[in-house]
Amino acid sequence: MALDDRARALALCPVSRETLDRLDALVSLVRRWQPVKNLISNKTLDELWLRHVADSLQLADLRPDVRIWADLGAGAGFPGLVIACTWHDTGRMMHLVESNHRKCAFLQEAARTLGLSVTVHNARIEDAIPNLMTEKIEVVSARALASLTQLIHYCAPLVDNHAEALFLKGQDVDKELTEATKYWNISAHMIQSKTDPDGRIVSITKVETRAA
């Protein structure tokens, strides 16, 4: 018998019982809010665990030690809320940056309901970055948000301030990386996605503007 969506996701990214309880509650909230807020594509609802939860959990697995994380274009909380669900000690903080008021309302309600260490910034990314610069961000992430060139433009100040950037990318990642290097000198390496055979996680630890 084939594993269902939840079981497939957890087989790829196992979690503790406490984390699983939080993730179950988060998925329930997403399904409840979806008809009104259109948080994610309806096409992905049947694979919500694999396409969204497990895809997010793999980032948490890469940096389980992080104390202060920022997620840009947080949307429905993938990966930001999922990563926060894996944290069980105090002193950590997830900063979620989202310009859509309706999605921010969901993010705030989910964080409150689940008791997560989350700060929601209802702002455009370029407006939020100066505030994030004071937070000693250790990791900045983004998923299904923009081209790699644009993402590097957004996160360059944070990376320059010693943050690692983790970007979830699909099958066009090589093309995007080639395009980005026309504008930026970067230190990057690729990590195979656990959920998508064509997907990669791009880790960037150094960014410099390429001279014209």
* Per-residue pLDDT tens over the stretch 66-98: 999 999 999 999 999 999 999 998 899 999 999
Torsions phi, psi of 94, nearest 5?
-105, 120
Summarize pLDDT for 164-182 with one digit per residue, the tens: 999 999 999 999 999 999 9
Secondary structure (3-state) at 114: helix
> What are the beta bridge partners of residue 122?
98
Q: For the domain that residue 180 is a member of, what is the CATH number?
A: 3.40.50.150
Model pTM score: 0.95
CA pair distance 83, 103, nearest whole angstrom: 17
Question: How many structural domains compose the chain?
Answer: 1
- Domain range for 172 is 5-209
CA 207 – CA 156 distance, rounded (Å)? 6
Q: Give the per-residue pLDDT at 212.
A: 65
Cβ(40)–Cβ(34) below 8 Å: yes
Residues 117/92, Cβ–Cβ less than 8 Å: yes
Give the per-residue pLDDT at 1: 35
Residues 25-33 have a mean pLDDT of: 96
